[in-house]
Amino acid sequence: MVEINHATKVVVLTGAGISAESGIKTFRAADGLWENHAIEDVATPHAWKKNPELVWNFYQGRRNQLTEVEPNPAHKSLVTLEEFLGDNFLLVTQNVDDLHSRAGSNNLIHMHGELRILRCEQCHETFDMMQQEHLTADYVACPNCANQRLRPHIVWFHEMPFQLPEIYAAVEECDIFMTVGTSGHVYPAAGLIDVAKQAGALCVGVNLDEPMNYGMHDEFHQGKAGELLPNLVDEWVS
């Protein structure tokens, strides 16, 4: 039974399922291809070196899709939970879209990067680039140095997710760990629930299907996050 007050420490991990309800295409298809591309062709550092044009165009398509979607009730309900808990709330997302931030989430970590942002491999600066000229460009040059080709600020396979020390520290200290729209397939994100359980946290899940780590949840709500989460949050903060 979930009981929350203003002092309760909550960490929420979200995955592709919450964004799919807004119309974001899920990255991994049932046949193992990502929007008709093999993983090694579009989502590895080697692919970027071998065929940067293919990788760039792939992510440009995904960046453009952000202009066509809006946050759904599940995104907004997590903002309500953050407003209730303040600094005792942390949202960790595996998603690279900007729907959480557009909904109003502030205590937010994008562990797999962000489509909105491009990064320079020479000076390592990052730039929020969602203007039309950037969304239709063949490549974007670094505004800060001589590099003529910024890369997507995305964690590809064989790269380390962002801010892992901060994520693990928060999970180890939380009272409630919640997964929303996650399949439990992708590590290290899928292993965070193990860390939470070892720390004594209550683990709650919301997803359309049972995730791979279903048995690690103390409480699981099966269905669409946009339909279930607003009611759950309303009960918790009332």
Check whether residue 133 and residue 223 sit in a common domain. no
pLDDT band with cut points at 50, 70 and 90 for residue 196: very high
pLDDT band with cut points at 50, 70 and 90 for residue 32: very low
Tokens 């994008």 -> residue: 110
Tokens coding 104: 């109003």
Tokens coding 20: 């799919």
Long-range own/partner contacts, residues 23-27 (CB < 8 A, 24 or more apart):
23/68, 23/69, 24/65, 24/69, 24/95, 24/97, 24/99, 25/62, 25/65
Check whether residue 174 and residue 59 sit in a common domain. no
Asked whether residue 2 is assigned to any structural domain, the reply reads no
pLDDT tops 50 at residue 31: no
Check whether residue 168 and residue 215 sit in a common domain. yes
Residues assigned a catalytic role: 112
Check whether residue 227 and residue 187 sit in a common domain. yes
Asked whether residue 226 is assigned to any structural domain, the reply reads yes
pLDDT tens for each residue of 208-222: 999 999 999 999 999
pLDDT tops 80 at residue 33: no
Check whether residue 185 and residue 225 sit in a common domain. yes
Asked whether residue 63 is assigned to any structural domain, the reply reads yes
How many domains are there within the chain?
Answer: 2
Asked whether residue 20 is assigned to any structural domain, the reply reads yes
* Rounded alpha-carbon distances, angstroms, from residue 217 to 21, 185, 221: 22, 15, 10
Check whether residue 147 and residue 176 sit in a common domain. no
Asked whether residue 4 is assigned to any structural domain, the reply reads no
Mean pLDDT, rounded, for 129-142 = 95
Structural domain of residue 177, as residue ranges? 10-24+71-112+161-237
Check whether residue 62 and residue 150 sit in a common domain. yes
Contact 96, 115 (CB under 8 A): yes
pLDDT tops 60 at residue 157: yes
Check whether residue 138 and residue 211 sit in a common domain. no
pLDDT tens for each residue of 41-73: 899 999 999 999 999 999 999 999 999 999 999
pLDDT tops 60 at residue 127: yes
Asked whether residue 105 is assigned to any structural domain, the reply reads yes
Asked whether residue 32 is assigned to any structural domain, the reply reads no
Q: What angle do CA 122, 49, 57 make, to 5 degrees?
A: 95
Check whether residue 57 and residue 75 sit in a common domain. no
Check whether residue 148 and residue 212 sit in a common domain. no
Asked whether residue 30 is assigned to any structural domain, the reply reads no
Confirm whether pTM is higher than 0.75. Answer: yes
Can you give the pLDDT at residue 162? Answer: 98
